[in-house]
Amino acid sequence: MRALPVGDRALLVEVSTDEEAQALHADLLRRRAEGSLSVREIVPAARTVLLDGLEDPSRLAAQLSGTRLPSVPPPVAEVVEIAVRYDGPDLADVAELWGVSPEEVARVHASADFRVAFCGFAPGFGYLTGLPARYGVPRRATPRTTVPAGSVGLAGPYTGVYPRSSPGGWQLIGTTDAVLWDHARVPAALLSPGTPVRFVPVDS
């Protein structure tokens, strides 16, 4: 672990893998819940957790230096099931990259246990890990100017669902009617960091 100062009120804690980042994030949430950590924002990402709104970042850095990174705890939230039609415009391209049939892409994707590693890009957009490393795919060479809401895409090691229509460069393999973000709902975000997720195939 490395602690990098970010201005006078924040600390970026860097680890080596996304599993470590998820474990650190869970541990920091636990510390905040039990009252031993006072911070406004805890923002997990690919290899880091940002702590923003700290009274004394250097004191926390010193405290963290005395602790060992815990292992990823079992998910506390219930599994969110997302019904997907595997009918995306990039399904054939992904099948080719994986060296399998389009039906097999759907089967592999729908049998993986996902977890929200972190959120970003747009409210409600989760970066989901869980696909074995060999299924990583590059972003599209030319991003689409419009990706419809509900599109299920792949990029690098991640799966994500677009909460609303926006430009995007992910490889689109399917669509869902799930509402990723609804500010009139509590909670507004269907997915938050740590949420376990499964995709359930449905007929197009």
Partner 1 sequence: MTDRALVVVRAGALTTVQDLGRPGHAHLGVPRSGALDAPAAALMNRLVGNPPEAAVLETTLNGCDLRPRSAVTVAVGGAPCPVSVDGRPAPWGAPVHVPAGALLSVGTAVSGVRAYVAVSGGVTVEPVLGSRSTDLLSGLGPPPLTAGTVLPLGKPYGLPARVDVVPQPSPPAELVLRVTPGPRDDWFTAAAWRTFTTHTYRVSSASNRIGLRTEGPALERAIGGELPSEGMVLGAVQVPPDGSPVVFLADHPTTGGYPVIAVVHPKDLPTTAQATPGTPVRFVPTCTPRGRGERRNL
Instruction: Tell me the window of 100-108, 142-150, 171-179, 184-192 that interacts with partner 1 (CB under 8 A).
Output: 184-192
Per rule CB under 8 A, is residue 3 in the interface with partner 1?
A: yes
Neighbours of 47 (CB within 10 A): 15
How many amino acids of this chain bind partner 1 (CB under 8 A)? 47
* 2 lies in the site for partner 1, by CB under 8 A: yes
Token pair, residue 72, equals 């990823």
CB of 13 to partner 1, least distance (A): 8
Show the DSSP H helices in 76-198 as ranges.
Answer: 91-98, 102-111
Neighbours of 179 (CB within 10 A): 13
Identified binder of partner 1 from the candidate list 65, 145, 146, 204, rule CB under 8 A: 65
Question: Any idea what DSSP says for residue 181?
Answer: B
Among the listed residues 23, 147, 154, 189, the single contact to partner 1 using CB under 8 A = 189
CB of 68 to partner 1, least distance (A): 10
Burial class (CB in 10 A: 0-12, 13-18, 19+), 41: exposed
The residues with which 50 forms a beta bridge, in sequence order, are 12, 43
Alpha helices in 34-142 (DSSP H): 57-65, 91-98, 102-111
Q: Which of 164, 169, 198, 201 binds partner 1 (CB under 8 A)?
A: 164
Give CA angle at 156 (150, 157), nearest 5°. Answer: 85
Give least dist CB 47 to partner 1, A: 5
For residue 48, give the nearest of 4, 16, 13 by alpha carbon: 13
Residue span 96-135 as binding mask against partner 1, x where in contact by CB under 8 A, dash where not:
----------------------xxxxxxxx-x--------
Range 30-59, binding partner 1 (CB under 8 A): 40-50, 52-53, 57-58
Q: Which chain residues interact with partner 1 by CB under 8 A?
A: 1-10, 12-13, 40-50, 52-53, 57-58, 61-62, 64-65, 67, 118-125, 127, 164, 183, 188-189, 192-193
